[in-house]
Amino acid sequence: MAIREILKYPHPILKKRCEEIGQIDEDVKELIRDMTETMYHTNGIGLAACQVGVPQRVIVVDVSPLDPEKEFFALLNPEIVFEEGEIEHEEGCLSVPECTEKIKRREKVVVKGLSPEGKPIEIPAEGILSIALQHEIDHLNGVLILDRISRLKRELYRNRLRKERKKEEKD
């Protein structure tokens, strides 16, 4: 197991749709182990493979710090098959540091995918689990929280990044 580097906006991999997992081999299992270790190391509640530079449809999620009744899971090729309601919740993202914004999401979703053992899974979710699943599946589709906020807020964030980069170049 290894802690992998988390890619930061504006890395191009973060804006691409990830490829489906065809075969669950040892590389995929190692990726899941590394993603899990990386997520816990950074105090995240979810992580998508593209965030560690692997453009494949794999997510790991553990919302138990916010909802103790929930447990860790990994999901391959996740897909939202049902959604209803609307909720607004403040979100942050490991790939978009220092950006927390209220994002509108579906209140309830059902997500289907494969377990790391290749078994079909269907996960009904609401609350923080629903939000986390939607956030991570967005990543797999090349969508960041910056794409879900107003153009003004997005430009303010980009301008702040530019200023920080210029300052780092001078130092």
The pair of structure tokens assigned to 171 is: 């130092």
Question: Whose structure tokens read 């993202």?
Answer: 93
Residue 87 neighbours by CB distance under 10 Å: 16
Task: Confirm whether 136 is a catalytic residue.
Answer: yes
Long-range contacts, stretch 85-93, CB < 8 angstroms, 24+ apart: 87/127, 87/130, 87/131, 89/128, 89/131, 91/131, 91/135, 91/145, 92/145, 93/135, 93/144, 93/145
Interatomic CA distance for residues 91 and 84, integer angstroms = 19
Q: Active-site residue among 136, 164, 168, 169?
A: 136
The catalytic site residues sit at: 136
